[in-house]
DNA sequence: TTGAAAGCGCTAACAT
DNA sequence: ATGTTAGCGCTTTCAA
């Protein structure tokens, strides 16, 4: 391009990088004019080859179909937008191979920071990228003993959240409480289940495996069939539950639908979700759920990525909040 | 890297690009070994500087918070994944400036195809990128007279969809039908409104402006307050509506919540949405809505982006489908 | 105040 | 069967 303005590349570069104090107004004008008429944009690709960082942030989520992940993406996008930074969102379906491919693609595009919202126990598939200096921030995944030291984890206390949900039901008199989830192969789900177990145990309610239907499918893309099977299983028990804790709001809604479809009155049943998706407050009965402080978490991540490397940066755990609504109105005498 | 394997760069390049028929097994081994031990990945940045295309596809959506856009993103991602291609999702909040910035960022990263799911009437802000050869495919935006010829539009027939929704209500006996939307500044919303008007007109029902509350806010991120205001306005009329058509499912759910909050029995009211988000079928009453054939549309886009340039590629319009569920059960005698 | 030259990592044409 | 060279578009000395 520069050539077409009748000046040397370095002159253009100088102007581009605000090193134009000493520049002849006339020259500047000529260059600016040529830029405009050619609608020239400096090639970020060339800049990156020279070592400039790609300012964009990568965000990988398990399933954009689940509105929770959409809200999280929007929240994080908003927080970074306020700092003039953009986000590329990637959908992994929680497939480690897909996750690896996205991380390597972002890496290949020179992106330095990736927020990985996938709570898989092992992060081995990301080793090469991490070794190459890609900074990974894991979201929704509490710190593990075996994690590499450069990994940052940002999460709520999932165990505490599920404990609150379960404790709330117990306080309303429920003692037969099902736990509805897909596969529990992620760290956050394991923690949620642990919170459920602790609440039962603290209240001297024995854990009944029959109330925790198992599945090997995560149900991220579609919780419907899994929740239906689970609900039908527990409703068929001799001593069926009067309440259920779902591993997330989509499971809660799917389970509620299954209860209705089984001909039961949903008002006779208490349901608690997890995540606080927007529709939870629009439906009837409105969904009691556990809320994550997404805004605070997004801002913490903005700060983490702005930090100069080298400083000690601990993993962060945020407190969840129980939001009580109509779906847990009923009290058991 | 190559240097560290004791061979020339071209040798590495040859191997990388499967031009290794004539290669000494011993040499190949040495190179492969060095790659492995350094966990070497060819720099896509350098490759792009040499002219290689970035295989990733850009997808810009108005609001990842709306589950419809999440489903669309997942659908398109799945279709491209089947062809070994990845997608970067960007959230524009329907802000033209944000949209422009994302398009230019994708352009700067060497991405050639962008699916732009924003139905703004003018696309002037994207001219520079389009002139530079970035292929833009507009989704949810029917072709306009003033569109540049290289623009491809992929959309449903929004007018027909809204006509079906309104006609359905009329057939159930409703004659006072509100139209609930945020700002109608997008092409798809204008078309939907046109379909509503045509159905009324064909049935000799006068269009009553009082049943079409106006707003200047699109309500993409949060339809709640807009829907609430709209509902309260129409319910306060002397001759209030018995049914409503919403511009999308989120507005339908928000409006239903507002009706309930106003103390009305939702069963006395008929509601039709638009988009068929997953939760619509999980709630009670389940939401009657207009479905878009997302799978077909995603596959059409895969084909469009695979086409060699130069072939004539017309804009595509798909037919919507009315999905009747419980929210329009009631008949007016 | 501006320009010339080198080099980032890769590929393609050409040479050996 | 492998190496050499030039150049993609930019930035950064250094020189003029």
- Domain of B13, CATH number, reads 1.10.260.40
Distance between the alpha carbon (CA) of A16 and the C1' atom of C1, Å: 16
Judge: A88–B89 Cβ closer than 8 Å, yes or no: yes
Contact A221, A65 (CB under 8 A): yes
Q: Do B283 and A281 touch (CB under 8 A)?
A: no
What is residue B272's three-state secondary structure? strand
Given a cut of 80, whether residue B3 has pLDDT beyond it is no
Q: What is the distance between the alpha carbons of residues B220 and A222, in angstroms, rounded to a whole number?
A: 24
Other beta carbons within 10 Å of A285: 18
- The DSSP result for A137-170, as a single string, is EEES----TTS-TT-EEEEE-HHHHHHHHHHHHH
Give the mean pLDDT of B177-185. 94
B328 domain residue, yes or no: no
DSSP A271: E
> For residue B308, what pLDDT band results from cuts at 50, 70 and 90?
low
Q: For residue A143, what are the CA distances in angstroms to A126, A137, A164, A184, A316?
A: 16, 11, 21, 17, 9
Is the CB of B56 inside 8 Å of chain A's CB atoms?
Answer: yes
The CATH number covering residue B89 comes to: 3.40.50.2300
Does the beta carbon of A22 lie under 8 angstroms from any beta carbon of chain B? Answer: no
The whole-number pLDDT of residue A52 equals 87
User: What secondary structure, in 3-state letters, does A189-233 show?
Assistant: HHHHHHHHHHHHHHCCCCCCHHHCCCCCCCCCCCCHHHHHHHHHH
Q: Is A278 on the interface with B (CB under 8 A)?
A: yes
**B153 and B300 together in one domain:** yes
Residue B18, in any domain of the structure: yes
The answer to whether residues A81 and A109 belong to one domain is: yes
B224 touches A at CB < 8 Å: yes
Quick: pLDDT tens for A7-20: 878 888 888 887 77
Contact criterion met (CB < 8 Å) for B41 and A104: yes
Residues B4-25, mean pLDDT to the nearest whole number? 78
User: Would you say residue A32 lies in a domain?
Assistant: yes
Is the domain of A215 the same as that of A196? yes
Listed in sequence order, the DSSP H helices in chain B are 2-5, 9-16, 25-37, 44-49, 67-81, 96-108, 127-131, 158-171, 187-202, 224-235, 249-261, 294-306
Determine, yes or no, domain membership for A331: no
Q: Does B22 touch chain A (CB under 8 A)?
A: no
Do A61 and A128 have their domain in common? yes
The mean pLDDT value of chain B amounts to: 91
Domain that holds residue A171: 158-292
- Is A285 in the B-facing interface, judged by CB distances under 8 Å? no
In the predicted structure, residue B1 carries a pLDDT above the cut 70:
no
How distant is the Cα of A64 from the closest Cα of chain B, in angstroms?
Answer: 5
Q: Is A204 in the same domain as A224?
A: yes
Q: What local confidence, expressed as pLDDT, does residue A263 receive?
A: 93
- For residues A145 and A77, membership in a common domain is answered with yes
All residues of chain B having their beta carbon less than 8 Å from the beta carbon of residue A107 are 41
Contact A46 B41 (CB under 8 A): no
Verify whether the Cβ–Cβ distance A282 to B222 is below 8 Å.
Answer: no
Nearest to B71 among A65, A250, A253 (CB): A65
Examine the domain organization and report whether B117 and B87 are in the same domain. yes
- Residue A327, domain member (yes or no): no
Facing residue for A282 by CB, picked from B74, B107, B254: B254
Q: B276 near A248, Cβ under 8 Å? A: no
Which of A49, A68, A85 corresponds to the end of one domain? Answer: A49
Residue B105 in contact with partner chain A when CB distance is under 8 A: yes
Nearest nucleotide to B2 by CA–C1' distance?
A: C9
Please tell me the predicted confidence (pLDDT) of residue B57: 96
The answer to whether B282 faces chain A, any CB pair under 8 Å, is yes
A223-232 pLDDT tens trace:
989 999 999 9
Contact B283 A128 (CB under 8 A): no
Confidence of residue B172 (pLDDT cuts 50, 70, 90): very high
Question: Quick check: B309 pLDDT over 60?
Answer: no
A54 touches chain B (CB under 8 A): yes
Please answer whether residues A222 and A153 qualify as being in contact, where contact means their C-beta atoms are separated by less than 8 angstroms.
no
pTM of structure: 0.93
Residue A173: phi and psi, rounded to 5, are 100, 0
How many Å lie between the alpha carbon of B102 and the closest alpha carbon of chain A?
8
The proportion of chain B whose per-residue pLDDT surpasses 90, expressed as a percent, equals: 67
A323 belongs to a structural domain: no
CB nearest B64 (choices: A64, A110, A284): A64
Shared-domain flag, residues A82 and A183: no
User: Element (H or E) spanning B155, and its range?
Assistant: strand B152-156
Do B287 and B191 fall within a single domain? yes
Res A213: pLDDT? 95
Closest in B49, B74, B98 to A221, CB measured:
B74
Can you tell me whether residue A178 is helix, strand or coil? strand
CB of B42 within 7 Å of some strand C atom = yes
Within chain A, which residues score under 50 in pLDDT? none
pLDDT value for B162: 98
On whether residue A67 sits in a domain, the answer given is: yes
Closest CA to B58 of B116, B139, B129: B116
The answer to whether residues A299 and A152 belong to one domain is yes
Q: Are B172 and B330 in contact (CB under 8 A)?
A: yes
Of B49, B70, B87, Cβ closest to residue A45: B49
CA distance B38 to chain A (A): 9
pLDDT digits (tens, 9 = 90+) for B198-242: 999 999 999 999 999 999 989 988 898 999 999 999 999 999 999
Inter-chain touch A73–B56, beta carbons under 8 Å:
no
Measured over the CA atoms of residue B106, residue B1, residue A97 and residue A127, the dihedral's sign is negative
**CA–CA distances in Å: residue A297 to residues A139, A149, A192, B219:** 9, 20, 19, 24
The nucleotides of chain D lying under 7 Å from a protein CB are: 1-13
Residue A59 to residue B58: CA distance in whole angstroms = 14
What is the rounded CA–CA span in Å between residue B133 and residue B142? Answer: 22
C-alpha distances out from residue A319 to A167, A294, B60, B173, Å? 16, 11, 33, 51
Residue whose token pair is 């306080």 = A171
pLDDT attached to residue B32: 85
Q: What is the dihedral of CA B67, B69, B70, B75, to 10 degrees?
A: 130
Q: Is the domain of A242 the same as that of A198?
A: yes
Q: How confident is the model at residue B257 (pLDDT cuts 50, 70, 90)?
A: very high
Strand C bases near protein CB (under 7 Å) are 1-13
**pLDDT tens digit string along A59-94?**
999 999 999 999 999 999 999 999 999 999 999 999
Residue A49 CB lies within 7 Å of the nucleic strand C: yes
Residue B332 included in any domain: no
Does at least one atom of strand C sit less than 7 Å from the CB of A24? yes
If residue A116 lies in a helix (H) or strand (E), which one and from where to where? strand A113-116
Same domain, B34 and B180: no
User: Which nucleotide shows the minimum CA-to-C1' distance to residue A8?
Assistant: C3
Q: Are B331 and B274 in contact (CB under 8 A)?
A: no
Does the pLDDT value for residue B314 go beyond 90?
no
Mark residue B84 as left, alpha or beta (left: phi above 0; alpha: psi -120 to 50; beta: remaining): left
**What does the pLDDT look like over A198-221, one tens digit per residue?**
999 999 999 999 999 999 999 988
Q: Is A22 (CB) below 7 Å from strand C?
A: yes
Contact A250, A294 (CB under 8 A): no
Q: Provide mean pLDDT across the span B249-272.
A: 95
Q: Residue B171 has what pLDDT?
A: 97
Domain stop point among B13, B32, B49: B49
Asked if strand C comes closer than 7 Å to B7 Cβ, the answer is no
Angle of CA points B180, B64, A275, to nearest 5°: 100
Tally the domains of chain A. Answer: 3
Q: Which nucleotide is nearest to B45 (CA to C1')?
A: C9
Mutate to test the interface with B, among A57, A279, A283, A287 (most CBs of B within 10 A): A279
Tokens of B120: 């703004």
Nearest CB to A86 within list B105, B254, B284: B105
Whether residue B310 is predicted with pLDDT greater than 90 in this model: the reply is no
Greater pLDDT, B278 or B4: B278
Which residue, among B262, B278, B294, B326, would best test binding to A if mutated, counting the most A CBs under 10 Å from its CB? Answer: B278
- Per-residue pLDDT, averaged over B99-110, amounts to 92
Report how far Cα B150 is from the mean position of its chain's Cα atoms.
Answer: 20
Q: Is the dihedral of CA A171, A172, A178, A179 positive or negative?
A: negative
**Distance D2 C1' – B7 CA (angstroms):** 8
Determine the Cα–Cα distance for residues A270 and A326; give it in Å rounded to an integer.
Answer: 9
Residue B81 DSSP class: H
Strand A177-180 versus strand A152-156 pairing type: unpaired
pLDDT on residue B119: 79
| A interface test, pick of B60, B64, B273 with most A CB neighbours within 10 Å | B64
Distance CA(B73)–CA(B84), nearest Å, equals 16
């Amino acid at each position: 391009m520069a050539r077409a303005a009748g000046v040397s590349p370095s002159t253009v570069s100088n102007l581009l990088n605000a090193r134009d104090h000493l520049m002849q107004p006339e020259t500047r004008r000529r260059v600016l004019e040529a830029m405009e008429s050619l609608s020239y944009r400096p090639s970020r690709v060339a800049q990156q080859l020279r070592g400039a960082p790609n300012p964009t942030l990568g965000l990988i989520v398990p399933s954009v179909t689940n509105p929770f992940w959409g809200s999280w993406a929007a929240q994080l996008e908003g927080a970074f937008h306020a700092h003039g930074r953009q986000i590329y969102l990637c959908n992994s379906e929680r497939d480690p191979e897909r996750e690896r491919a996205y991380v390597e693609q972002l890496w290949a595009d020179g992106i330095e920071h990736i927020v990985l919202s996938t709570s898989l126990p092992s992060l081995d598939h990301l080793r090469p990228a991490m070794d190459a200096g890609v900074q990974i921030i894991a979201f929704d995944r509490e710190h593990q003993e075996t994690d590499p030291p450069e990994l940052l984890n940002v999460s709520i206390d999932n165990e505490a959240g599920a404990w609150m949900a379960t404790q709330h039901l117990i306080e309303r008199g429920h003692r037969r409480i099902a736990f509805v989830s897909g596969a529990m192969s992620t760290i956050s789900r394991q923690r949620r289940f642990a919170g459920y177990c602790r609440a039962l145990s603290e209240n001297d309610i024995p854990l009944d495996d029959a109330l925790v239907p198992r599945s090997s499918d995560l149900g991220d893309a579609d919780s419907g069939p899994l929740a239906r099977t689970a609900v039908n299983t527990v409703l068929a028990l001799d001593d069926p539950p009067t309440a259920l804790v779902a591993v997330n709001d989509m499971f809660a809604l799917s389970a509620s639908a299954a209860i209705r479809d089984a001909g039961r009155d949903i008002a006779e049943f208490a349901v608690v979700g997890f995540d606080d998706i927007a529709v939870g407050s629009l439906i009837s009965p409105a969904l009691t759920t556990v809320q994550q402080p997404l805004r605070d978490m997004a801002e913490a991540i903005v700060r983490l990525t702005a930090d100069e490397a080298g400083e000690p940066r601990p993993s962060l755990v945020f407190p969840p909040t129980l939001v009580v609504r109509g779906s847990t109105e009923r009290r058991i005498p």
